[in-house]
Homo-oligomer: A and B are copies of this chain.
Amino acid sequence: MRRVAVIGTGHSKFCFNSEKTQVEMLAEVALDAINEANITPKDVQAVNVGNVLGDFEEGQGMVQSFFANDIGCFNVAASRFEGACASGSMAVRDAVMWVASGYYDIMLVGGVEKATAMGTPLATRTFAMFGDSRYEFPAGFTFPAVFALLAHLYSNKYGIPLPALKEQMAAVSVQSHEYAVKNPNAQIHKAISKEDVLKSFMVSTPIQLQDACPFSDGAAAVVIASEETAKKLVKKPVYFAGIGQASSGKLSSQQKYLPRIRARELASQQSYSMAGLTPKDMDLCELHDCFSIAAMIAAEGLGFFDYGTSGLAWEKGQTRIGGKIPINISGGLKAKGHPIGATGVSQVYEVTRQLRGDMAEQGRQVDGAKYGIIDTLGGDGVLVSMILSTM
């Protein structure tokens, strides 16, 4: 199969209470990506979009065909993907295959969400539909509760007393906020201290407000193309070196494995194997930190740290620029924001721009980065992993 590259990127500012519709948000970021790719809307042969709850949020389903037509991508094949918070990555991964196979040469992939339109209490309950609704939601498993459970399991399994674990978790949030201040697209531009985290509102013990990402509105888009086309159009195509996707069933079905997420480990193994690379080869990582404990579990599942040690790594600065593996230099879901359907595409945007060296002007460039990995978790267990490469 052919190699496939990102040749254009677009990203809205992530925010609370956007005044735009999802179709409008997608249209803007898509045109940015199309312009950057040096193509016109008519060159786009097909569109994939990640969008989780557009119908709940503003009574609009099937955003993909409406926005595509609005910007002049007339009559393209247009598909919407839903895998909860991994929807955007799922849409990207799928597009990679359609281009790799030779069927399409240029595709546009977007992700969008207007999650704050629902209001926070409804949003938490609505998001819980992406856990098991029949047996587990009635037992109290909204996602804050799921990750609270994982934090307790993590504490027990690795022998880290909760007070120490909470300090480690706080270090994750502190770092994300610090980098988000440098990211103009980030939703929250405010540094926080460990004390801010530990004093914040208790959501679901031991998860406090500052251990959790916000609800967000936003969109991101990328244009992808075959290697041959990419080289004609742009100076620095960024290639997909590996892709992976796996899933789990309801939380209770994963009982033996928790707090590790087996689907993540399988999906990232697929990516590493396809790329012929290992965790040590990665120069940066954007991973799914919907909660700070989720970030710690992810960093271990991706192979960067031994199980039970990633919190220490954050505390020691090993996840910062210059550390062992720079993680979420965008600010992550925690502070960049988490418009669910857009998140995976936003991660691709971030890693692509890092690999092109575009982040120096924002003071958060990982110098000389050649390989970056993306990790997106949807609900109780759809996992998408992708490795991007400069060559």
Contacts and interface: CB of A to CB of B under 8 A. Distances in A.
Contact of A68 (B78, B98, B247): B247
Contacts of A137: 59
Interface string A352-391: 0000000000000000000000000011111000000000
A380 B262 contact: no
A65 B381 contact: yes
A76 B1 contact: no
B58 A55 contact: no
Interface in A55-75: 55-56, 58-62, 64-66, 68-70, 74-75
User: Main SS of the interface on chain A?
Assistant: mixed
A77 interface: yes
B83 A62 contact: yes
Copies held by the complex: 2
A271 to B, nearest CB: 12
Given A248-B65, A249-B66, A59 B94 contact: no
Nearest to A380: B65
Contacts of A62: 82-84, 129-130, 378-379, 382
Interface of A: 1, 21, 23, 46, 52-53, 55-56, 58-62, 64-66, 68-70, 74-84, 90, 94, 97-98, 100-103, 126, 129-130, 132-134, 137, 245-250, 253, 262-263, 266-267, 378-382
